[in-house]
Structure 1
Amino acid sequence: MCSFKKALALLLVLWQAVAQASGYVDVLDLPARPSALAVRSPLLDVTSAGQRLVAVGQRGHILYSDDDGKQWQQASVPVSSDLNAVYFPTPEQGWAVGNDGVVLHSSDAGATWKKQLDGRQIGALSVKHYAALAAADPDNEQWPLRVADGQRLVEEGADKPLLDLWFADDKLGYVVGVFNLILRTEDGGQNWTPFQDRTDNPQNFHLNAITSTGDGLYIAGEQGLLLKWDDAAQRFAAVQTPYQGSFFGVVGKPGEALVYGLRGNVLRSTDGGLSWTPFDSGLQVSVTAATVDAQGHYRMFSQAGHMLVARDDSPRLQLVPQQNPSPVAGAALAADGSLVLVGTRGARALLEQ
């Protein structure tokens, strides 16, 4: 997740602390307000739901477009928490996550949403789950520590952002967030299992993004943390890379993966994550979003609004000039093959370049 997304998340936490003193209604209980300006307000992610595009952002705004991003409608959302990511494994079934540990679900391609989970429940889930493991395995010293971590979540309240999510289908999925927060569902979000013990992340670094490249499921995190799902071990195992700065995302296709992050750093692997080589971006600002375009080329975007494209087997990303660039937080391929971007200025369709 990009740095300005984190800043927005932290600002909301501070705002809530002040507002609580004045008797406000919790954003987890306050439906998002309809706004004609929602399409131009900060949006943090966009994805496709079949032929439809769905974008999420501040104050619980969720927008959807059925004409490749030209016009947008606002969805019905039961919370006003900032939303950080959205994903649809099928054209109808989708999930969104955000601040306050919120998980939302839609079964109608993003037109309406229901809350499945929030930060007021996650701590108690962790305590219950790890207490049961401690009772079954009293000699394992990690379980009491996990119980204590869950209890801290209970005491601190619903202030832990979820930053990203990924679903294999309409049943199996993961949500990830700050301080190694990760949960898994196998029934479409009806039940969630804490998964903090299934990551090689002893320092509890933030989990910024989770992505499948088609033949590998990766989690990108801060301070060089990169994890990959190990099916035999049933855990997210650490992947070694030559960069120790924060990663904000992974993009790829079968046989290839690119991880990107701070200061324009992009690394490429063609051997399932066993080795990584620098992919020259020519930038010194963070790469914050990426996707694959209709021609199969990687498109990457920076927090300053740069667009980079990787064509053929070139080891260098090519800078594509932009008019009036603005920070990009998310990018998606529309049904007509065009690209739609979201960021601090809302949603916009990218002209063919």
Structure 2
Amino acid sequence: MGLNNIYRRLALACLLASVQGVSQAAAYVDVLDLPAKASALAVSSPLSGTARAGERLVAVGQRGHIVYSDDGGAHWQQAQVPVSADLNAVSFANATQGWAVGGDGVVLHSIDAGATWNKQLDGRQIGALLVKHYQALADAEPDNPQWPALVAEGERLTQQGADKPLLDVWFANERTGYVVGVFNLILRTDDGGQSWTPFQDRTDNPQGFHLNAIASTGDALYIAGEQGLLLKWDQASQRFAAIATPYQGSFFGVLGKPGEVLVFGLRGNVLRSGDGGASWTALDSGLHVSITAGVVDAQGNYRLFTQGARMLVSQGSGAQMRLVQQAEPVPVTGATRAGNGSLLVVGSRGVRTLSVE
């Protein structure tokens, strides 16, 4: 074969490779722009969070899957979702208005009890949002060193791209709510998600620990995070103030009732306070695996679930915990009340309705 033929074949191979590369690049669609695919397996795929929308049950999970049930979990339908990013949590302010959050800083909103969703925010916008907000404060207070540091944080988020997940969401009503995530990422809205205000300067979290969960006990709002971080909303100072706890490991959840709060996390650790966090009692869970979800059942009892498929029940005040055997134990990442006093739990195997005594 002559050199000319060899060169022609090499050139053709390079051209084909180039065309194939362009074709593959054109075929790529960001998960933030790719609608979740309809799947008969969505209800049994990994799900991370669940909530009630009136009498409807809603669960969210991987690849943008959101499913809902109108008969207590017996039958499920898949929602229309505009992204295929993994979703971590969901919250409903009332029977129709709900929000879901997840990977790549995505925030979704529903006005029809979770049947359809639209995107309000994602990680491609959050960095610029921080820069704009804190630059305005820096211009107003040029001698305050806090603002340039937060502007720089926004610039880093912008440069790094949409890769910072939001881990939880909570709404007080259809207008006011919070989303929280990694590295002290926290935003507040007072118009139902039409606009968002960065709240990094309103948290006592100078080391930028992850904010894993946000929840209300009915009379107080708490955020649980890494390395013993527990924050409580202080109305007077308009900030999330740090509360000292006797455990320095990560907390994964917080729940409670008026006058009482439980926080739980790594290695079976559960703490209880009956005085708004001024003092804490460590509860003996008898476990050494992480507690990943919790719910207050219809009888007012606390039920905590572990990554090792165990369930703890705390009667009444929550001062004592006991292990309860499950007929079909599975790891649980989220739980909410279902109908007839039962619970809906979600995890790596999808949804499951749990009858409770």
By the TM > 0.5 criterion, same fold? yes
1:23 Cα offset (Å): 5.8
Structure 1 counterpart of 2:124: 120
> How many angstroms apart in 2 are the aligned matches of 1:170 and 1:313?
31
Q: 2:169 aligned to 153, 158, 165, which one?
A: 165
SS in 2 for 1:211: strand
1:276 is aligned, of 263, 277, 280, to 280
CA distance in 1, matches of 2:161, 2:57: 33
Distance in 2 between residues matched to 1:314 and 1:231, nearest whole Å: 27
Q: Is the 8 A contact 2:302 2:318 kept in 1?
A: no
SS at match of 2:104: helix
Structure showing greater Rg: 2
**How far apart are 1:21 and its partner, in Å?**
7.6
Equivalent in the alignment of 2:332: 328
Number of equivalences = 334
Please, which moves more after superposition, 58-67 or 327-336? 327-336
Select the residue among 193, 200, 203 that pairs with 1:196: 200
> Which secondary structure does the structure 2 equivalent of 1:271 belong to?
coil
SS in 2 for 1:124: helix
Structural mapping, 1:289-308, within 5 Å: 289-308=293-312
- Residue 260 of structure 1 is matched in structure 2 by 264
Which deviates the most, 322-331 or 302-311?
A: 322-331
Q: Is the 8 A contact 1:52 1:335 kept in 2?
A: no
Aligned twin of 1:155: 159
SS of aligned partner of 2:298: coil
Q: Aligned partners of 2:107 and 2:176: how far apart in 1?
A: 14
Contact 1:280–1:315 (Cα < 8 Å) also in 2: no
Are residues 21 and 247 of structure 1, via their aligned partners in 2, closer, same or farther at CA, if it must alter by over 3 Å? farther
AA matched with 2:160: E
Separation in structure 1 between the aligned mates of residue 356 and residue 40 of structure 2, nearest angstrom: 27
Superposed displacement of residue 22, structure 1:
8.9
Q: For residues 121-174 of structure 1, what are the alpha-carbon distances to aligned partners after superposition, in whole Å with 9 as ceiling and x for unaligned?
A: 000000000000000000100101100000000000000000001111000000
In the alignment, does 2:95 pair up with 1:96? no
The alpha-carbon deviation at position 294 of structure 1 amounts to 1.0
2:201 partner SS: helix
Shift of 1:314: 6.3
Quote the offset at 1:336 in angstroms.
2.5
Question: Which of 111, 124, 138 pairs up with 2:115?
Answer: 111
Q: Which amino acid aligns with 2:186?
A: I
**1:343 aligned residue:** 347
Q: Offset of 1:312 from its aligned partner?
A: 3.3
**Corresponding position of 1:13:** none
Task: Give the RMSD, CA atoms, in angstroms.
Answer: 1.2
Q: Which residue of 2 aligns with 1:245?
A: 249
TM-score, normalising length from structure 2?
Answer: 0.92
Residue 230 in structure 1 maps to residue 234 in structure 2: yes
Q: Which moved more, 1:305-314 or 1:64-73?
A: 305-314
The CA deviation string for residues 75-111 of structure 1, in whole angstroms up to 9 with x for no partner, is 0000000000000010000000000000000000000
CA separation of 1:149 and 1:309: change in aligned 2, threshold 3 A:
same
TM-score normalised by length of structure 1: 0.93
What is the alpha-carbon distance in structure 2 between the residues aligned to residue 313 and residue 324 of structure 1? 27
Kindly provide the CA deviation profile for residues 19-59 of structure 1, in whole angstroms up to 9, marking residues without a partner as x. x9896210000000000000100000111000000000000
Separation in 2 of the partners of 1:149 and 1:95?
Answer: 26
Alignment of 1:33-112 (within 5 A): 33-112=37-116
Calculate percent identity across the aligned residue pairs. 72
Cα distance in 2 for partners of 1:193, 1:24 equals: 32
Contact kept? 1:68, 1:335, Cα under 8 Å: yes
Higher relative contact order (CA 8 A, sep 6+): 1
